[in-house]
Chains A and B, each alone.
Chain A
Amino acid sequence: MPILQALVFATIFCGFFGIFLKQNLVMKILSMDVMSTGVIAFYVLIAARGGFFTPILDTAEPSVGYADPVPQAVILTAIVIGFSIQALMLVGVMKLSRDNPTLESREIEKTYSP
């Protein structure tokens, strides 16, 4: 479990650093996706503290360790929201790429700053 947790945090950090170290806007969006994957994994990990069984109540085996359904339900909402935001951002980037084909964020920022 601790190794898994360390890996999850490593994913989150890689994603976070990618957001501001990568120059290309598409890479930035992908980094954000990596970060959100890390966060989702973190939720799943915490849900699995009590056990790995799918939390569907079964009268035959009452004493197995069920996974906690609450964080899973919550993160499902967050996945959907994250997905829709990503879609919106990619549409925005597509529009921007018409006039800024390299999609370098520094250049774009310089062009559109007052």
Chain B
Amino acid sequence: MTAVMSLETATLVWIALPFLIGFSIYLLPKLARPAAMVMACLSWVYSLLLLQQDTALTMQLMDSFGVTLQLDALSGYFVLTNAMVTAAVLLYCWSSNKGAFFYTQVMVLHGAVNSAFICADFISLYVALEVIGVASFLLMTYARSDRAIWVGLRYLFISNTAMLFYLMGAVLLYQSGGTFAFAGLAQAPPEAIALMTLGLLTKGGIFVSGLWLPLTHSQAETPVSAMLSGVVVKTGVFPLVRCALLFPELQPLLGLLGVGTALLGVGYAMFEKDAKRMLAFHTVSQLGFVLAAPAVAGFYALTHGLVKSALFLGAGQLPDRNFKVLQKQPIAWPLWGVLAIAALSISGLPLLAGFGAKTLTLKTVQPWQVIGMNLAALGTAISFAKFIFLPHGNSKEGSLTASAEQPAATSINNPGFWLAMGLLLGGLVLANGFYLEAYSFKSMAKAMLTLGSGWSVYWLVIRQVPLKLPSMMEQFDNLIGTMSLMLTLLFWMVLA
């Protein structure tokens, strides 16, 4: 590809193409699935080009005050995640009866997420994030049920309010430095940093500002939750990571928030009884790992995106969402197998990429973060034991209950589901190649120890305790109110 055209031209074509394809799909609904799939493949090729980029390439479109793009390996990892998750979701939906409208939104979302991952100024980022918000809303409400509309409205409210705060921060940044580029953050006043961080934290589902996420991600349809949890929330985290790398003085602030969200999410996840809600709480926690070690965030985001979308697609096939019911009802062993592989990867079992990512992150974090992050890793092992120790049995019985629950097209007999799983789990095994140095005796022993102690805590404590954490903080009014508290907190943290 580089031989045919330069990376600059390739970037421009690649950014515009998903929107072009998205709107053409509406005119040519027959081509919807193949065209969308071609786009996902192109993103995949492009991300491999980015990953080979040793030095960052900066592009300035339309002269000064124009759009700034930054192309480097960090973006490459995030774009790769987006490509893989989109491809898996498309495979999963291949034989379903989703209309052209659905695929249009998927493409618009794909394109907006891509642009969020390569832009390097706050206004392009704002536009990308707002497009993501609208496309996610339309995907969430695709079912048109009242419940879906309420969940979508709640999401749009929260994300739009957060983006208004972000806009205020952006103009304060412009006032001080005369630029909207990420690089202008050096002269930014503390209130600008606090306001923009609040917007991005809320969009990215981090710490208490991210408590809107569990309900939204667990109520959406299976493929939509996979996309939302797999890549969409990372668009809020990515700019924070990028800024932390540009300005090391931001790292203590973001590192602290990372540890906080890792522990908060895992704390909720351990006691959660609903499968999809547990996965969503886990997204809150895993984003903390991404944020805590900005230097290696890309690899962690990739493994998390693959695992989380695999788990959401798999959890959509379970006969029930409540773990209490699932513990009495054996599921088909192939389904159990894919869920267990994904759960083992995220808990950090060697041979799967989650292990390498976790080892690398724990090695990179600051000394004061180590205890918190290791506790969070232990909590991950504890909560995912719920998936690993699900009873599994004869495939006949399990698949029958699954297809009774789901419409035939998305049941477990759907070949698209297995292709999607193959893609995601295969990606997990291959992603090991990014960090082979993880396979030392010491880190493998540590991973096994974490797993072992996590599982014993699960059997000894968590299974026995009927504790249910209150969900008061997830009420709409409280979520908005929390924003003002979080803003004050952030302001003092930036000043300190």
Interface residues of A (CB under 8 A from B): 12, 16, 19-21, 25, 28, 32, 35-36, 39, 42-43, 46, 49, 70-71, 74-75, 77-78, 81-82, 84-85, 88-89, 92-93, 95-96, 99-100, 105-106, 108-109, 112-114
Contacts and interface: CB of A to CB of B under 8 A. Distances in A.
B452 to A, nearest CB: 34
Contacts of A95: 144, 146, 149
A92 B143 CA distance: 13
A101 B382 CA distance: 45
Contacts of B127: 77, 81
Contacts of A46: 171, 174-175
A96 B149 CA distance: 7
Interface residues of B, number: 43
B475 interface: yes
Interface of B: 65, 123, 126-127, 130, 133-134, 137-138, 141, 144, 146-147, 149-153, 156-157, 160-161, 164, 167-168, 170-171, 174-175, 180, 215, 218-219, 274, 277, 471, 475-478, 480-481, 484
Nearest to A98: B146
Contacts of A43: 167, 171
Contact of A28 (B134, B157, B471): B157
A70 B177 CA distance: 13
25 contacts: A12-B168, A16-B480, A20-B476, A20-B478, A20-B480, A21-B477, A32-B164, A39-B164, A42-B168, A70-B65, A74-B170, A74-B174, A74-B180, A75-B167, A77-B127, A78-B126, A85-B130, A89-B156, A92-B141, A92-B152, A95-B144, A95-B146, A99-B146, A109-B475, A112-B150
Contact of B134 (A19, A70, A78, A85): A85
Contacts of A25: 153
A88 B134 contact: yes
A42 B171 contact: yes
A43 B149 CA distance: 32
A28 B479 CA distance: 14
